[in-house]
Amino acid sequence: SQQGEEDPQALSIQEGENATMNCSYKTSINNLQWYRQNSGRGLVHLILIRSNEREKHSGRLRVTLDTSKKSSSLLITASRAADTASYFCATDEGNNRLAFGKGNQVVVIP
């Protein structure tokens, strides 16, 4: 099944900087979701954005969705060491499944 593809796959930044990740997909979607996974833990839901929405915010997180380009971005502002994790985008293609990308490893250096 088609999956979201995150870019870049690995990102290393200094604490306080902003981190931006992109996700591209190939078919039409109902919604797109972003998740975070800390080492040895399960995925934690961050934001869900529906196909008729263009932007959503949650705390220091900002997600955009461009359905014409089939892409989404996740921005983490003022990063903290605790933001070190893998970040996944996942797409709902209307077949009861969330198709997850391979993930994007973010390291925030204190």
Partner 1 sequence: DAGVIQSPRHEVTEMGQEVTLRCKPISGHNSLFWYRQTMMRGLELLIYFNNNVPIDDSGMPEDRFSAKMPNASFSTLKIQPSEPRDSAVYFCASSRGQGAQQPQHFGDGTRLSIL
Binding site for partner 1 (CB under 8 A): 3, 30-31, 33, 40-45, 48, 88, 90, 92-93, 95-98, 100-103
Q: How far is the CB of 110 from partner 1 (least distance, A)?
A: 25
Q: Could you tell me the end-to-end alpha-carbon distance of the chain, in angstroms, rounded to an integer? A: 38
CB of 41 to partner 1, least distance (A): 5
Report the residue number, 18 or 51, with the smaller CB distance to partner 1. 51
- Nearer to partner 1 by Cβ, of 15 and 92: the residue is 92
Rounded to whole angstroms, how far apart are CA atoms 85 and 87? 6
Residue with structure tokens 């990102």?
A: 11
Q: How far is CA 57 from CA 6, 52, 97, in A?
A: 19, 15, 24
